[in-house]
Chains A and B, each alone.
Chain A
Amino acid sequence: MDLDLSEEQQMLVDMTRGMLEEHSTIDVVRSMEDDPRGYPDELWKQMGELGLNGILIPESHGGSGQTLLEAALVYEELGRALAPVPHFVSAVMSARLLMEAGSDDQKDAWLEKIANGDAILTPAWLEPDRGFGPVGVKLAAKADGDGFTLTGTKRHVYFASAADRMIVLARSDAGVDLFLVDPAAPGVTLTHQLSQASDAQYRVDFDGVRVAAGDRIGAAGSGGAAFEKGMLDGIILLAAQAVGGAERALEETVQYAKERVQFDKPLGAFQALAHYMADASTGIDGSRVLVHEAAWNRAQGRSISRFAPMAKLFACETYREVTRVCAQIWGGVAFTREYDIQIFFRHAKQLQLSWWDTPYLEELVAADVLDR
């Protein structure tokens, strides 16, 4: 047993953190809040130059083909920096879907561009008043000559206005299919929606949008399974992101608790507050080791059907609770926009609500434990 990072892994962490400290400062994060495009060019360029966008993409397609463990280490840093980048939707989810189910032509067309940051792809998945499960996908894909027409509505499509393609989950006669769709295609309407984390997310309406047969990813009816598989990887990274965010929120709060004086003592000298922070620290370290174990298992080629949902369930609940407690310790200023702790407070809850929420993850864990 050994929880240390390898020298290469530590270098990856240091390099990523160093870049983010320069290019994803809190001012940059604030400047992107509610921005319809949602990410700054310079930060995205830096991510590409460091090879972070190709971290999970094989070398044959222009990436570095590293394991989910390395990716998780990067996600901890992205979480710390609250980095406003379309990395997850493009370099993780879309890349994984293409790698898992894409044709050679589709891989050749997109993976290298994703890896060097020249293209952004984003999944269009959730629908109004529908859940996270496969049954939630209702947007209709009707066979139409040599292709399909898509009709319906998607929500929470991140960075849609900047995307070169969406990967749309749609319901065809065969089941759930994945389609590559240009957000600028006729019949597609994008509506920017303001969110808790002030990110760039869109409602996307599809009104008889034509899709060529060659733009379906994978065999008919195979899209749901491919998406679930990609999600199991993806949620480990989001759990890592939660760990990073929670740790930074706690660090800044601990620092504040050493400086801010009330009743002639620093806040940290009050046991009620010190114990909040000790609990927060324990939750964060517990989250991190669970996330690492999940990512390590994936890197070893072992099943993550239990570890992955556990990791996101626990890490996101920890992030939310840690930021609640941090806000409490900051006191009234946490309620103002001027101070930064509120940004973590909002991000934490949105991360918990997104990409499989707590009830959905609880059911995944319960099914794995009780029904197999």
Chain B
Amino acid sequence: MIVATPRFRLEPYVQFAQKAMAREATYRFDVFTSIASVLVRVYLLRMVWVALYARNTAPSDLPLHAIITYSTVALLMGLVMDIDQTRMLHDRLHSGDIATDFMKPIVVPLYFFADGSGEVIFHAVLIVPSLLLALLIVHIDVPGPLVLGTFFVSFFLGYLVGFCINFILNCVAFWTLEIHAVQLIVTWVTDLFGGEIIPLVIFPAFLQKVAFALPFAAMFSTPLLIYIGVIKPERYAAALGLQAFWVVVLGFVATVMWRAGAKRVIVQGG
């Protein structure tokens, strides 16, 4: 049974987000390890690219400093992008609490979104110390305001794509509860085909075609290629448009799955 929502109020969702932030802040060790992990990877990727560029001819549009910038910014983005913002949906399906959530006078998906956003904002704050410490290991290029501004817009669109993919995966839990392995598999595929570890432009031609046709490229590759200037301003509209296209398509799939899943819970009585 769903209680009709009388009048929409934003305050509860702000509260949910604040609660989530406070919760995340209590895991100090996790904070420490996420920053340490970023720094270790910054070092590792720097050494890898230096070694590769030392003995081979460099690609003309991707000099060493650009690829090191790419990797470092990708790792910092990962602090936010690699969070499973809607894990709560899966957890509450597991515990059965989802049944009582439906009875509360709230919009349930928005509740999950608020909780996830709180977590994300907390991790976004970690980018600052990580960036400062990373600058001790590498030098990164900072582009002009137009590029930087477009990068942030593109990053946000990429974040929405990631959110939808996570939401869809967590919706699978309506039908089968064992989704952890599937999520991990998708994470590996995203890391590689999203361009988080290796820029898609150095993939061999046929793999590049595959990778650019998948939605994962909209998560990391597009904002990062804008940042390092491989995507030039005249192609900004097309690049952002493609990202927006994926947000709409995946958002639609997520909505359909959510409706079907919610119906299932309500019909079965939780």
Q: Please say whether chains A and B are actual partners in one complex.
A: no
